[in-house]
Amino acid sequence: MQQFLKEWLKIRNMHLFFPYLIASICALLFVVILIQRAIKCKKDGTPFINFKNYHFFKPGYDKVKLWGSLVLFILYIIALPELHFAWASVIFIFLFNVLFDMKPGKLFDIKSILISAVIAFVGSWGVWYLFYQVFNITLP
């Protein structure tokens, strides 16, 4: 054992020993979780893999808001280096506000859109001013 550790902890191998050790522990724990699940399923008389009754998302989840927020987030990150931080933020924070405040059957609520625009404009320029001008923090 000592020889084995000595060999592994030679300077050229040192960086690999601990990741291998932790990865092995993770693999072992994963197997234990599977075994525990198998035992539980056997006890309860339920199938080990039950795709029919498995719901990753909540039943009736808000598809538009969840997937919309993910797509907007990706587009926002892409747009940040292309546009000025504050302008990219005004556009996307406005879109996030509209998306999150959207009510079924009432897509174009003028009051809500106006509030979204104000929050997006004030929020984006406010954050830009606070962090870039006051705190001197690098922004995209």
Interface with other proteins by CB under 8 A: which residues? 2, 5-6, 9, 11-12, 14-19, 22-23, 25-26, 29-30, 32-33, 36, 56-58, 61-62, 65-66, 68-70, 73-74, 76-77, 80-81, 89, 93, 96-97, 100-101, 115, 119-120, 123-124, 127, 131, 134-140
- For the CB of residue 12, give the shortest distance to other proteins in the complex, in Å: 7
The Cα 46–Cα 139 span in angstroms is 53
Distance between CA atoms of residues 140 and 137, nearest Å: 10
Nearest Cα residue to 82 out of 93, 70, 91, 94? 91
Task: Quote the least distance from Cβ 110 to other proteins, whole Å.
Answer: 16
The answer to whether 124 and 86 are in contact (CB under 8 A) is yes
* Residue closer to other proteins (CB basis): 10 or 52: 10
- If DSSP codes are grouped into helix, strand and coil, which group holds residue 103? strand
